[in-house]
Chains A and B, each alone.
Chain A
Amino acid sequence: MSTLPLMRYADAGAAMAWRNGERIDVCRFLATSAALAEALPDCDHIVNLCTDRFDFAAGLAAALMRKQVSLLPPNDRPVMLRQLAQAYPGAVCLTDAGVAYEGMTCVQVPEPPSGGGMREIPSFPEDQVAAIAFTSGSTGQPMPQVKTWGTLVRSVHGEGAALGMAELAGAFLVGTVPHQHMYGLESVILLALQHGMALQAKRPFYPGDIAAALDELPGRRMLVTTPVHLKTLLADGGRLPAVDFLLCATAPLAPQLASEAEWMFDAPLYEIYGCSETGQVAVRRPKLSAEWRCIEGIRLRQDDEGTWASGDFLKGETLLADVIELNAPDRFILHGRSADQVNIAGKRSSLAYLNHHLNSIEGVRDGVFVMPEGVREGGGTVRLTAFVVAPDLTAETLLARLRERIEPAFLPRPLHFVDALPRNATGKLTAEAIQRLLGK
């Protein structure tokens, strides 16, 4: 079995991260990762909850060195950690400095050593399981997505080739997306490690934060972000930070927003299409074409069920959750999501998953989530509506129970209490009945 290197940089002195104004080179990163690998307890799984990019990357590297699998939960809420602890007995949490989780063994990444001798860049077998990401299954249990080192690295090499990343070796990369998501893992952490870029350790949030995180970097800059952040950054009206390359994903950008971003930043803007099951599938530069091109090694085919993605480095075939017009096995137009899928500000879930959680709450007799059609006045984010039969629950209690179970982005707004849901004789809620509810 062939192996693939942890990282690809010009030399051991190249910048690998930028943290609080300090440049950290490859050599110190390797020394930190090796020290962490020695400190990690004997176990099979590491829940990597670090938000700091450098610490997260060191955790990923250390786990690979120890042949441990990194678990990447979409959030750190108690319910999620309890589910992980049950499914992966003995799992240990890797956390930011000063953070601890009740009932879990927590380990932290050591400070990078000031000196640190030259170390070889380690390589890992392609079939070594590197990480498990999670998607929301319809049963309420998070569905594990097992990623081998070979799948991750080959996918990111394909992405880099499609985006022309060779040009950006030595540049700095700022991401606004969490790296526990596939998009952040691939397009922030691994894109940087595999193409010789330095990670801004922070994950900036507000437009002012993003500008500051970019401005402090002494070199060329790439911004990896989402439509929501990009829209806010442009609408903010402040001075835009200097950026040499923009990458956006989680939901397709409106064409006019894409053109505006290219013009305002004077930098190319590319988009990625993908999902947790496959990782990234295709890229496009919306200014030049609405058509998506698959990254090398990925192919699509269609049958009665929908569009299936497979690839040289993917296991099996994945049914994509979107409506796709296939122009060739590697080129397509995206026509939106399938009926059960919801995407709110880039967070994906299914109505079946959300309904399952709503109905699992004690005191809820019946309940349904509905995605309203159309756009909100003023261009704000559209939220879900829920209709619930729960005579003994208050809105506060119900929302608190829901908040323990689902991502905040999916919390219903508004939440309507009703006496009964207009189910038909077979117990189904027809689209028409739901429209009548919404019209009330």
Chain B
Amino acid sequence: MGEVNSMVRPELELATLIVNTLNLEVSPEDIDPDAPLYGEGLGLDSIDMLEIALAISKAHGVKLRSDDESNVRIFSSLRHLSNHIQHLKAA
């Protein structure tokens, strides 16, 4: 933290959505966009991912898919997840 934060606007919006949805005790600006969301890093688990998926579905009208629970980890970072949402919205 304290480094230059290079989050782009959709990433910051997503960070805000995640922090608000899960009542996390970090401020959205402090989330490292390249750090893992799941497990290490922000320390989210599969229950969080379900709540985030629901919030994303409501906010952006897109549905996350993983095919299998083990693949939930593909959303390895805020940046990755944000890009994935933009990609789904454009499709």
Contacts and interface: CB of A to CB of B under 8 A. Distances in A.
Interface of A: 51, 178, 202-209, 212, 228-229, 232, 235-238, 344-345, 376-378, 380-381, 399-400, 403, 408-409, 411, 413-414
B45 A408 contact: yes
Contacts of A212: 65
A206 B53 CA distance: 7
Nearest to A377: B23
Interface in B20-61: 21-25, 39-40, 43, 45-47, 49-51, 53-54, 57-58
12 contacts: A51-B70, A202-B68, A204-B68, A205-B49, A206-B49, A206-B50, A207-B54, A229-B50, A232-B51, A345-B47, A380-B22, A403-B40
A418 B35 CA distance: 28
Contacts of A399: 43
B63 A376 contact: no
A189 to B, nearest CB: 16
Interface of B: 21-25, 39-40, 43, 45-47, 49-51, 53-54, 57-58, 63-72
3 A-B pairs with the lowest CB-CB distances in the bound complex, closest first: A408-B45, A208-B63, A205-B69
A399 B40 CA distance: 9
Given A51-B68, A380-B23, A408-B39, A206 B46 contact: no
Given A205-B46, A380-B23, A408-B45, A51 B51 contact: no
A399 B72 CA distance: 21
A409 B45 contact: yes
B65 A208 contact: yes
Contacts of A408: 39, 43, 45-46
Contacts of B57: 207, 236-238
A299 B51 CA distance: 38
A230 to B, nearest CB: 11
A236 B63 contact: yes
A403 B39 contact: yes
A87 to B, nearest CB: 26
A229 B49 CA distance: 11
A387 to B, nearest CB: 15
A203 B68 contact: yes
Given A203-B68, A206-B64, A236-B63, A414 B54 contact: no
